[in-house]
Amino acid sequence: MITNPGVSEKREYTSANRNNRNVRLSKFDPEPSGLFASKVLQDTNIKGVLIGRLAVWAWVEDAGRQAYTKDLDIAISQTDLPAIMAYLTNKGFDIRELSIGGLNITDERENIKIDFIHRNSAEWGDLSRLFNDAIAQAFDNRNIVCIGEVSLYLVPVEHLITMKIATAERKDEEDAKRLLEMADSTDIGQLRELMSIHLGPLGKAKLENLLREVGHPEARPRGKYVS
């Protein structure tokens, strides 16, 4: 497990066997998508960072017990979206725009399922500053995760928690709680600052509620979340 966002480390991801019963369960192999995402980013000279549930797997021990995911998520800057769209179009891929801001490509034959996300949309709001900051911090810290034979930059855990809380979805809240249980790996002061900058009072209140739920040693008493 990567234990310090300020130190360059690698984590090897191994696909977990999810067929523990006599039923064939759906599963997602991240290696083909990781290989293709790495190629896209290298060929376009674009900075991208692994986010989403696979990033949770990288930060939390025992990936085999983590919840199912169906694709690989890469954070990009909105300004880089046209270059990625042009690259994929020239390669003949069908592109689906994401309502949250970004695009998806899916190639069932090659088992490629990738979302390139900048997170700015009229429908779901603008979190592009958070995503840009996450990309910059990931590259500054040089945290990387190995997926098969390729390496991708890994979102800092504090930014990942902020992204999870921002969705207000139950599954992402559960991911945030798993990450918050890693008390030694998360800078709670930085996390509170990210909440203040990007999510405001409601986000700060949600963070403090989750800290109390997981019994975090730095949790504040109820009503004391304002810094």
Bridge-partner residues for 151, per DSSP?
Answer: 146
Bridge-partner residues for 51, per DSSP?
Answer: 73
User: CATH: 3.40.50, 1.10.10, 1.10.357, 3.30.460. Which one for 9-15+22-155?
Assistant: 3.30.460
Tokens encoding 13: 């991801």
Q: How many Cβ atoms sit within 10 Å of the Cβ of residue 81?
A: 19
3-state helix/strand/coil string of 109-162? CCCEEEEEECCEECCCEECHHHHHHHHHHHHHHCCEEEECCEEEEECCHHHHHH
- Model pLDDT for residues 101-123, shown as the tens digit of each residue: 999 999 988 889 999 999 999 99
In this prediction the pTM is: 0.84
First to last CA, the chain: 31
Using an 8 Å Cβ cutoff, are 60 and 66 in contact?
A: yes
- Model pLDDT for residues 192-214, shown as the tens digit of each residue: 999 999 999 999 999 999 999 99
pLDDT at 70: 79
Tell which residue, 153, 219, 221, has the closest CA to residue 186.
Answer: 219
Query: Does 31 have pLDDT greater than 70?
Result: yes
Query: Does 65 have pLDDT greater than 70?
Result: no
Tell which residue, 117, 121, 144, 115, has the closest CA to residue 131.
Answer: 117
In angstroms, rounded to a whole number, what is the distance separating the alpha carbons of residues 222 and 227?
A: 13
pLDDT at 12: 45
Q: Please, where are the H alpha helices in 8-69?
A: 30-44, 52-59
What rounded mean pLDDT belongs to the chain?
Answer: 85
- pLDDT over 70, % of the chain: 81
Positions of CATH 3.30.460 in the chain: 9-15+22-155
Say how far residue 149 (Cα) sits from the centre of its chain.
20
